[in-house]
Amino acid sequence: MDFISLPFWTFEYVGPGPWKLDRREPGAFFEGSAFDRFVFGPPRIDRIRVIYQPDSNTAVATLLSGEAHYSVEALLHGEEGATLEAGWAANKAGVVLWGTDIPKGQEIQMRPEFAMPTQLATDVRVRQALAFAIDRVTLTDVVTAGRGLLREIFTHPHAPYYDQVLSAVPTRYSYDPRRAEQLLQEAGFIRGAEGWLTPGGSRFTLEQWYLSGATNERDSAILIDSLRRFGIEASSNEGGIQRTRQEERAKTSGLFGGNMGVLPDKYHTRNVARPENRWTGSNRFGFSSPEMDRIVDAYATSLDRAERIQRIAQMERLAMEQLPAIPTYWTAVVVAHAASLKGVVQNLVPEAGDERLMWTWEWQS
C-alpha cells in the first residue's frame, strides 16, 4: 500500500480541526461531526457533509435545489454566479458573494529547446508582442461576466501597497496590435501571403494549453481568437489529466494558461522544474535571471515591511520587463451559500487566504 494511502491519512486520521471525520467515500463525499475540544471552541454546526462535484453546472443545480448549502471557491465563476443570482432573485433562498482573489495569466515557455517558435524563449520582444496582442479588457469582461478585475501586474489591486508597486513598473501592456506587430518585425517576423506572422517565413503554430474546466475553456477560446485575428496562428488545447503530469506540463511548447502566483518570487532559478527535482519546481517553464535571484533572496530575508514592499516592486519591474508570464485578470470567484447559513464572509485579496472561520457559522431560521 502506498504511504499516502495508509488509513492513518484517511479514515483513521485525527486532526486539530473543528470537525472529526466520521465517514468517507473517496471521490464522493465525507462526513464529520463537531469536535468539542477544538481550540477555538466547539463549532456551532454539529454535522457537515462535503460532496465532491467538479462539474460547475451540476453544482449550480444542486445549490438551487437546496441539496447543498455552500460552495467553495474556485468551482463557480462569472456565468455560474449570475445564474445563481437570477435563480435566487425571487425566493431570496441564497446569497452570492463575489471575490477577485484568483490570479489568471499565461505562463510562457522559456527553454529554447522546448519553445515553438524558439524566439519565444530567446527574444523578449516576442513575449512583449504577445502581451500587446492580447485584448485583456475583453478577456476580463467576457470570462468574468464583468465581475473580474484587469490584471496589469502580479500584485492585487486591493493590496494596500499596490499603487507603490505599480508606479515602479514602467512597462505596461495595454492592447496595442500596432506595437505588437512592430516588435515582431524587429525580431525578424514577416507577414506571409496567408496573413500569418512567422519568423523568417518559417510557419509555426503557437500552442496554448489549459486544464479542463468551463472558465479555462472560455479563457482559451477568447485568447486564441484574439491572437489569430492579430496574425499569429495559434491553437487551443485542453490538457486534461496528462497535462497535470509535471514533466509534460514543463515541456509545453508555447503558453500555459491558468492560475498564477500573486508574486513573481517563484521565478528564482532554484525553483526551475528539472529532472533533478522530478519536474516539481514551481518555476515550471525555466525562467532564470541572476538579478531576479538576488531580489527574491533579499525579499525572503527581509523583515522590514517597507523594504519588503520595495523588493516586491523590484520583482514586479523585472518580471514585467522580461515576461516569464503575462498576467491577464483576477477572475470573478463565487462563494454561494444558503441564506439561512450565517457567518460566511468575503475574501477581497489573495493574502486573506481560504480561512473563513467556518466553526463560527450557524443556521438561522
Dist CA 4 CA 83 (whole Å): 39
Query: Residue 349: its pLDDT value, please?
Result: 57
Task: Tally helices (H) and strands (E) across the chain.
Answer: 11, 14
State the DSSP code for 187.
T
pTM of the predicted model as reported, rounded to 2 decimal places: 0.81
Non-local (6+) Cβ contacts of 241 within 8 A are none
pLDDT of res. 277: 92
CB 190 within 8 A of CB 197: yes
Query: What is the pLDDT, as a whole number, of residue 99?
Result: 84
- In 3D space, the residue among 18, 26, 21, 72 whose CA is nearest the CA of residue 49 turns out to be 21
C-alpha cell at 144: 468574468
Grid coordinates standing for 234?
A: 495559434
Provide the pLDDT for residue 284: 94
In terms of Cα–Cα distance, which of 298, 296, 342 is closest to 154?
296
CA angle 351, 353, 358 (to 5 degrees): 145
User: How many Cα atoms sit within 13 Å of 103 on the Cβ side?
Assistant: 22
pLDDT on residue 13: 72
Q: Which residues pair with 336 in a beta bridge?
A: 71, 96
Question: What is the spatial distance between Cα 101 and Cα 73, in angstroms, rounded to a whole number?
Answer: 9
- The pLDDT, as a whole number, for residue 1 is 54
Please provide the CATH number assigned to the domain covering 102-330: 3.10.105.10
DSSP conformation letters of 99-143? EEEEEEEEEE---TTT-SSTHHHH-HHHHHHHHHHS-HHHHHHHH
Residue 353 DSSP one-character state: -
DSSP summary character for residue 213: S
Q: What is the mean pLDDT of each run of 10 residues along the chain (365 residues)?
A: 71 80 87 92 94 89 95 80 93 91 93 96 97 95 89 93 94 94 96 91 92 85 95 89 73 92 93 93 96 97 96 97 96 89 76 69 88
Contact 244, 211 (CB under 8 A): yes
Q: Where are the domains of the chain?
A: 3-97+338-363, 102-330
State the CB neighbour count (10 A cutoff) for residue 72: 14
* C-alpha distances out from residue 282 to 235, 261, 285, 301, 303, Å: 25, 10, 9, 20, 24
**Per-residue pLDDT at 214:** 76
CATH topology of domain 3-97+338-363: D-Maltodextrin-Binding Protein; domain 2 (3.40.190)
State the first-to-last Cα distance of the chain, in angstroms, to the nearest integer.
47
